[in-house]
Structure 1
Amino acid sequence: MHAVLGERYELLLGLRYTRAKRRNHFISFISLASMLGIGLGVATLIVVLSVMNGFESELRQRILGMASHATISGNTEGLPEWREVARMAGQNPDVAGTAPYIEGEALVKVGGEISGTVIRGVLPAEEAKVSDIGAHMTSGTLADLAGGAFNIVLGYELAQQLGVTRGDKVDLMIPQLSVTPAGVLPRFRRFNVVGVFRIGMYEFDRGLVLVHLDDAAALYRMGDNVTGVRLKLNDLFQAPRVAREIALATPGAYFVSDWTRSHANFFRAVATEKTVMFLILSLLVGIAAFNIVSTLVMVVQDKQADIAILRTLGATPRSIMAVFMVQGSVIGVIGTVLGVSLGVLLAVNVQTLVPLLEAATGRQFLSPDIYYISDLPSDLKIADVIQISLLSLALGLVSTLYPAWRASRVQPAEALRYE
């Protein structure tokens, strides 16, 4: 048999069965449906994972635009020698910028409206080195936070709740007591609203206010101390390693932390959601791939006589299996190629296609009145495409095993009895 058809006759026959016009058109229809099903499943997986990657990247960018890649903090009394600490940390080649900060809790009061918030004292010129909040100011600038002027910048949501805009005044009360002739009272100070920022994250837009470092130090009576030093790194994904290096290189009792610790639960939840979505949508590819089983079972039934003739010419059961595995694998490969092509095309152009769909349907999918991220960001990763492609090809190959094995078990005498 090998001498007649050559060493690769299994491949040639498998490809011929794929291209041949069958007497049973229903088999052809199921085969085509299997290809399209695999293609749509693969495309859906690529697009969904790309959009989830985009959302994760967007959220990380917004969170770390306000938080810090790493921080160096002292004990409960603060960090007195922060200038030396900032200088030593800045010597690390992976550190792009440093800035001191004072942080504490407070109540903001305007008339009858009162709300809890976090106060962050900053040096405007230094803060620009570690965060991009200056790019998210809807009114005013960080430079308006002059030391001793007791000016304040509010988050957009907090300003909306309090009903204040630039030029208004707010009272800030902190959980520290002052002894006055009228008795023991909470410490408070009136601040001038000089700006409003909008990050697009409720956590910051609703629960954070910025003041000058000197004003925060006076309010909390910290003198020349600060809460800590914030660091911006050249590569945020190297934050754990850099934090360890700085902790070992910095003498003294300091606590060095990084963003993977402070926001670990959030990003772990996003990663878990992405994994679950991958598993759920993989079932779509699996269902389409296992349609190949029914296709090949019917092909085997239709080709009983051909199989018997091949066996009588000397084909081994293993060769018969290879023929039908080739045929099923071709369906899986074509479906995967179509799916990858369509998925990559959609993922790359999703930010263009969504506005077109919104215009065609007359409705907005992510209303800016409800969602902070009102568009669909997409971040196509080659690793995801490779992983999905391999999964699809593997499922397609596995689905050929049973029909191919069944074909190898065909007995020539039984198959040719009624021919």
Structure 2
Amino acid sequence: MSSPAPFSRYEFLIAWRYLRARRSEGGVSVMTWISLIGIALGVMALIATLAVRAGFRAEFVDTVLGANAHSTVYMVPQRVENDLTDEVYVVPGRFQEYDRIAADIAGLPGVTRAAPVVRGQVMATANGKSNVAEVYGISKDDLMAMPRIVDPNSSRGDVAQFEKGVAIGRGIARELSLDVGDRIRLIAPEGARTAFGTTPRVNAYEVSYIFSAGRYDIDRTRIYMPLALAQDYFNREGSADEIEVFVDDPEAVDDWTLPLLRTAGEGAQVWTWRDASGSFLAALDMEDDVMFVILSVLVLIASMNITSGLVMLVKNKGRDIGILRTMGLTEGAVLRVFFLCGAFTGIIGTVIGVLLGILLALNVENIMAGLNALTNGGAWQPEVRGIYQLPAELRAWDIFRAVALSLTLSFIVTIFPARRAARMNPVEALRYE
């Protein structure tokens, strides 16, 4: 007669019966519950943390790409020597034929758009208040191609009226107490040149549009101005400071660096969004790995409770083990019975942890809103974090990693007490019974 196959139905029945300890074996039951709760909380924390980290990174990248160029092409400054005085002047590099160069760049494979831009720093004043701002001179069509800027859910005014004034960030509007239709005064340090030197240029413009890019630093410092108006204001007649380039795959933006340099010509340089934010993203990736390791240790500690519970269970079930062995159960069958006892705890705890982790991740924004209400905004400060909310993004890979880690640790820690039960001598187990 052939022996039963491994993990037969009776092995599952015995293991499940042992997990349902009687009142007299309350210690085993308590240890089982501690193990189960510990694993569930560890998996919940791991899934929720990974979801928040993924959501934070996705939101950060989205706000960067939604209001900034994927690559920026600019000309290096030139050194000009005055033959009469032997003085050397540094002339900022600018594009003279910016329309032609932008069209050539836009024709490169994978490039979706190229926009000439005039940039300059100003002092913005209104209602007796002032703020430092950075002006972007850009065409109306290029402005409307920025999804974060023209989002109707976070903006005020009509972006179609952009050419009649300027568009300012929500942070500037708040600090200067401005609304659509009000006037803002811009003061540029490099203005008209006179016999007495360079005088600051002061102009007032109507606020035609107020936007929110989703990033605190952009909303607080950025002003968009029609390109022709910016050229006149910053003395850039017939030229542009840089050309903003947008590609179809921003994650692979470095692949376009060499083609952009060849197309822009001698003296051109390229600055990508990864150059600007790459160090921060690298820090986020490193923190993800560190947080995964730390929370993995918590899951391991919770899994170790399974070992304690199984050791107590083996000790309490010594008589049963002896009887089962004399009835013909093999060492492998006994090992599998107690392995299943620990595996059941790990599986149930993991399932509960996954459900709680998903529930927590889906409601993290509501939870943070409640904490902000309790702490008067101290739980999440946009000026420190850069973005206005704490998002969460559940990814199948992160859930799989958490489940695989929990089950692997739960299965491994059950091997030692299960082997101890399998190697128990039935004669010694029944000697004093």
TM-score bracket for the superposition, by shorter chain length:
0.7 to 0.9
Structure-1 residue corresponding to 2:88: none
| Pairing 1:95-174 to 2, within 5 Å after superposition | 95-110=111-126, 113-135=129-151, 138-146=155-163, 151-165=165-179, 166-174=181-189
Q: Is the 8 A contact 2:75 2:267 kept in 1?
A: yes
- Compute the displacement of 1:280 (Å): 3.4
- Compute the displacement of 1:100 (Å): 1.5
One-letter code of the match for 1:278? F
CA deviation digits over 1:247-294, x for unaligned, max 9? 466654432332222111232333334334333333442232111011
Q: Is the 8 A contact 1:10 1:322 kept in 2?
A: no
How far apart are the structure 1 equivalents of 2:295 and 2:132? 42
SS in structure 2 opposite 1:134? coil
Give the TM-score normalised by the residue count of structure 1: 0.83
- Compute the displacement of 1:190 (Å): 0.9
- Compute the displacement of 1:381 (Å): 0.5
Structure-1 residue corresponding to 2:105: 89
* 2:321 aligned with 1:307: yes
Cα gap change, 1:145 to 1:191, in 2 (>3 Å): farther
Cα gap change, 1:274 to 1:257, in 2 (>3 Å): same
How far apart are the structure 2 equivalents of 1:368 and 1:127? 34
Structure-2 residue corresponding to 1:22: 21
Q: Is the 8 A contact 1:367 1:374 kept in 2?
A: no
SS in structure 2 opposite 1:78? coil
Identify which of 191, 214, 239 aligns with 2:204: 191
How far apart are the structure 2 equivalents of 1:131 and 1:248? 29
Structure-1 residue corresponding to 2:301: 287
Cα gap change, 1:191 to 1:345, in 2 (>3 Å): same
Structure-2 residue corresponding to 1:221: 235
> Which has the larger displacement, 63-72 or 3-12?
3-12
| Pairing 1:174-185 to 2, within 5 Å after superposition | 174=189, 176=190, 178-181=192-195, 183-185=196-198
Q: Is the 8 A contact 1:307 1:320 kept in 2?
A: yes
- Compute the displacement of 1:383 (Å): 0.5
Q: Is the 8 A contact 2:74 2:243 kept in 1?
A: yes
SS in structure 2 opposite 1:263? helix
Q: Is the 8 A contact 1:39 1:337 kept in 2?
A: yes
How far apart are the structure 2 equivalents of 1:337 and 1:370? 31
How far apart are the structure 1 equivalents of 2:184 and 2:265? 43
Structure-2 residue corresponding to 1:34: 35
| Pairing 1:2-401 to 2, within 5 Å after superposition | 5-8=3-6, 12-13=10-11, 16-20=14-18, 21-23=20-22, 24-76=25-77, 77-110=93-126, 113-135=129-151, 138-146=155-163, 151-165=165-179, 166-174=181-189, 176=190, 178-181=192-195, 183-195=196-208, 196-247=210-261, 251-309=265-323, 320-348=334-362, 354=367, 358=370, 363=373, 367=377, 371-372=381-382, 376-401=390-415
SS in structure 2 opposite 1:105? strand
Give the TM-score normalised by the residue count of structure 2: 0.81
Runs of 5+ unmatched residues, structure 2: 78-92
How far apart are the structure 1 equivalents of 2:174 and 2:421? 72
How far apart are the structure 2 equivalents of 1:308 and 1:370? 60
One-letter code of the match for 2:313? V
SS in structure 1 opposite 2:187? strand
One-letter code of the match for 2:400? I
SS in structure 2 opposite 1:133? coil
Cα gap change, 1:245 to 1:416, in 2 (>3 Å): farther
CA deviation digits over 1:193-232, x for unaligned, max 9? 3233333422112222222222322233333221222223
Structural RMSD (CA):
3.4
One-letter code of the match for 1:29? V
- Compute the displacement of 1:317 (Å): 5.4
How far apart are the structure 1 equivalents of 2:14 and 2:198? 91
CA deviation digits over 1:73-95, x for unaligned, max 9? 22231122322332233234433
- Compute the displacement of 1:169 (Å): 3.7
- Compute the displacement of 1:185 (Å): 3.6
SS in structure 1 opposite 2:150? helix
Q: Is the 8 A contact 2:169 2:222 kept in 1?
A: yes
Q: Is the 8 A contact 1:67 1:131 kept in 2?
A: no
- Compute the displacement of 1:244 (Å): 4.8
CA deviation digits over 1:135-160, x for unaligned, max 9? 267444444443xx7x4333232233
How far apart are the structure 1 equivalents of 2:334 and 2:105? 68
> Which has the larger displacement, 14-23 or 375-384?
14-23
SS in structure 1 opposite 2:418? helix
How far apart are the structure 1 equivalents of 2:142 and 2:34? 61
How far apart are the structure 1 equivalents of 2:265 and 2:414? 64
Aligned length: 408
Cα gap change, 1:75 to 1:222, in 2 (>3 Å): farther
How far apart are the structure 2 equivalents of 1:241 and 1:134? 28
How far apart are the structure 2 equivalents of 1:247 and 1:322? 65
Q: Is the 8 A contact 2:184 2:207 kept in 1?
A: no
